Amino acid sequence: MEKADRRTRIAAMAAMLARNPSKPFALGTFCETFGAAKSTISEDLAVVREAVSRYGQGEVEVAIGASGGARLLPSVAGEQRAAVLYEIAQRLSDPQRILPGGFIYTVDILSDPKYVCAMAEILASMYLRTNPDMIVTVETKGVALAFEVARYLSKPMIIARSDAKITEGSAVVINYLTGPSKRIRTMSISRRALSAGQKVLLIDDFIGGGGTLHALCGMMKELSITVVGSGVAIATRQPEKKRIDNFKALLVLEEVDTVNEKVTIRPF
Amino acid sequence: MEKADRRTRIAAMAAMLARNPSKPFALGTFCETFGAAKSTISEDLAVVREAVSRYGQGEVEVAIGASGGARLLPSVAGEQRAAVLYEIAQRLSDPQRILPGGFIYTVDILSDPKYVCAMAEILASMYLRTNPDMIVTVETKGVALAFEVARYLSKPMIIARSDAKITEGSAVVINYLTGPSKRIRTMSISRRALSAGQKVLLIDDFIGGGGTLHALCGMMKELSITVVGSGVAIATRQPEKKRIDNFKALLVLEEVDTVNEKVTIRPF
């Protein structure tokens, strides 16, 4: 490949790193792509690193040495985080979102890249250091969020389903109780998807009592898989004591007042 | 904000555009962020544009004029496209993927960001000019793919489900026949999600006879919504004549030979 000038290298490198969060790029790859020496590439990376950090576009981690490389880690500055969570909370607090039964209509927020990417990047940055092998979610509303977390961490995602599908091959199935009515529900996960000894991060859109995530944890235990944490978009204030402990939520649903048509939801 | 030097501006701009595909950034925003004049920002953008295009990181569209701005459009060069689709076809052609009933295990590919992002970017670039308001998919296997297409096009996604959920509010429901056995199935979509007069792009993981997508088209017609196209990851060779016409597939499943344990799948 013909040599690129410095500005071109810097622009292309920044775009490559930003398009592939958490994916490591070897210095050697950059050298080959741009026809430049390692020392030159290192200097360019220093510029990219400083620039993306200064303008809130993530943190570039540069590893020094023979096998050195760089990757862009998900990172959301405190004020940016507060602003986006406040905006989502505001949108969700619209009384027109109240559905029969006191549920809140959240589907639009949970499938709009504008909000999903922001929430996923915050969750990914929270669990970055736990270094999971895989992201696990439960169908269906949290799938986009979980997939985005997987993308930011550059790991695969797996979906547990309410019924085993023929297209998933043999499955592990668990029955559990969920919701205020303690209904028996079934959850199944493809056996091919996971292997013993792996570490997984659970991501879901919502936690009420915690029955679903508790069941998912039980299923992981069954498969000798370690759960490094559970990240959710929205947690209800009540019950205070959930069936799982180590979860983190982005938003708290304080109250749904169906009589006065009022929803109170705020950043965690 | 204090002034940034040229290299810093170029790196930060490239990262911003790459992190937010299809999202327009006004020149004025860049001017403010970097404390630079419009003419300076325009020159920087020209560098970013040339660099990302040269190294296959997308196409920057720059709009000139008072309300001028820039955005990074999804774009996959021909050779890159051929390479990634060939790799996915190879992985899917593994005979160990054959499941009882002649199905192919595809879940891992369809939930791995590495493959999903590549396929989604190709689909997004194919439908870029149709300018849909919304991406519509059917639960569950195609959700990650559809969401990524939505992300690349910077539009929201909506999921049609096999059963109306209470958390989606009132729904439009349709019954349809699908599969070789012509079973009756139900599909529902939240009424709040769509409005008459909109244009949607349908995205799914798989098309066999086309019954599901045909039903989805019927539902859109019912709602006075225009379908601008249907993009799928995998289409079966047979039947040649599907129940919908205007679809595009990335891969073709030629044959599943359960006796000799052979799968033939190739780029479209």
CB < 8 Å to A116, chain B:
147
Confidence band, pLDDT 50/70/90 cuts, at residue A170:
confident
Q: Assess contact for A17 and A48: CB atoms under 8 A.
A: yes
Identify residue B261 by its one-letter amino acid code. Answer: E
Which of A131-135, A185-189, B167-171 shows the highest mean pLDDT? A131-135
Question: How many Å apart are CA B180 and CA B161, to the nearest integer?
Answer: 21
Return the pLDDT at B164.
72
Measured CA to CA, the distance from residue B193 to residue B199 in angstroms comes to 13
User: What average pLDDT does the structure give for chain A?
Assistant: 93
Which residues of A are less than 8 Å from B99 in CB distance?
A: 166-167, 169
- Looking up tokens 């169908």, which residue turns up? A139
The reported pLDDT for the residue numbered B101 is 82
Task: Tell me the CA distances in angstroms from B6 to A182, B34, B100, one per residue in order.
Answer: 61, 9, 59
Contact partners, residue A64, CB within 8 Å, separation at least 6: none
Strand, coil or helix: B40: helix
Q: Are A217 and A202 in contact (CB under 8 A)?
A: yes
The token duo for A65 is 């040495």
Choose among B146, B167, B148, B174: nearest CA to B158: B146
Helices (H), chain B: 6-19, 27-34, 38-54, 78-92, 113-127, 143-153, 211-222
Task: Please judge whether A15 and B14 are an interchain contact, meaning their C-beta atoms are less than 8 angstroms apart.
Answer: yes
Give residue A71's pLDDT.
Answer: 96
Q: In the prediction, which pLDDT does A2 show?
A: 66
Query: CA B178 to CA B198: how far, in whole Å?
Result: 26
A19 interfacial to chain B (CB closer than 8 Å): yes
Are β-strands B134-138 and B157-160 bridged in parallel, bridged antiparallel, or unpaired?
A: parallel
- CATH fold of A78-267 reads Rossmann fold (3.40.50)
Window A:193-212, CB contacts with B under 8 Å: 193
* CB distance A58 to A72 below 8 Å: yes
pLDDT band at A253 (very low <50, low <70, confident <90, very high): very high
| Tokens coding A246 | 């180590």
**What pLDDT score does A102 carry?**
84
Mean pLDDT along residues A210-220:
94
Q: pLDDT means per 10 residues in chain B (268 residues)?
A: 87 97 95 95 96 96 83 93 96 93 91 97 97 95 97 96 79 83 87 93 96 94 96 95 94 92 93
Partners of A55 on chain B (C-beta within 8 Å) are: 12, 15-16, 33
- The domain ranges of chain A are 6-73, 78-267
Name B98's bridge partners: B104
The token pair at A121 is 């990047």
Please report the ipTM that was assigned to this predicted complex. 0.95
Class of domain B6-73: mainly alpha
